[in-house]
Amino acid sequence: MHRSQRSRRTPSGPTELAGPDDDQARKEQALRQAEGNLDGIKRSDFNPVALALQMMDGSSLGKSYGEFHAASEQLNESLDGIVNEYYGGFNDSILTFSGLQERIQDASGSVNVVKGNLQRVRRMIVEERGSLDQLYTKSKQLGAIVAILRRLEEAGRVREEIAA
């Protein structure tokens, strides 16, 4: 049976197939009936004890517990119909939300990995800067030593030329 088509029992007894339009009309009728019958409950000075006593009164002056119970059942059926009508979309939304949350967590993990790598590279750059300064100083010293060795070689050549 299709989700929007449910069987329901009519007052006459037999079961008939209820379509989506019939369900909507029943929901609206239940809401109108509840609003009409329960207006007193909405008031700020509502006294539930008085209403309960009126429902217990079996005379024609009291409220009918049977009508109240029937209205309650009709509201429950309407709410069940609404839940059945929208559960698929709600379920899909939960699955979508779950998937998005999972992707956000994955992205967050990736961002944390990249952040850690950047911090590590930064530390390496700062640490290497000191060793680069040392290498620069050594390079200058070695350059000076090479310059002195070239002068000594030139002096040796000049000595050989003078001796020759």
The confidence score (pLDDT) of residue 65 equals: 72
Q: How many CB atoms lie within 10 A of CB 86?
A: 11
Whole-model pTM: value is 0.36
Tens digit of pLDDT for each residue in 23-49?
A: 778 777 777 776 766 666 777 887 878
Average pLDDT along the chain:
77
pLDDT grade for 116, boundaries at 50, 70 and 90: very high
Q: How confident is the model at residue 128 (pLDDT cuts 50, 70, 90)?
A: low
Per-range mean pLDDT, top range of 15-19, 83-87, 111-115, 132-136? 111-115
Residue 16 has pLDDT above 60, yes or no: no
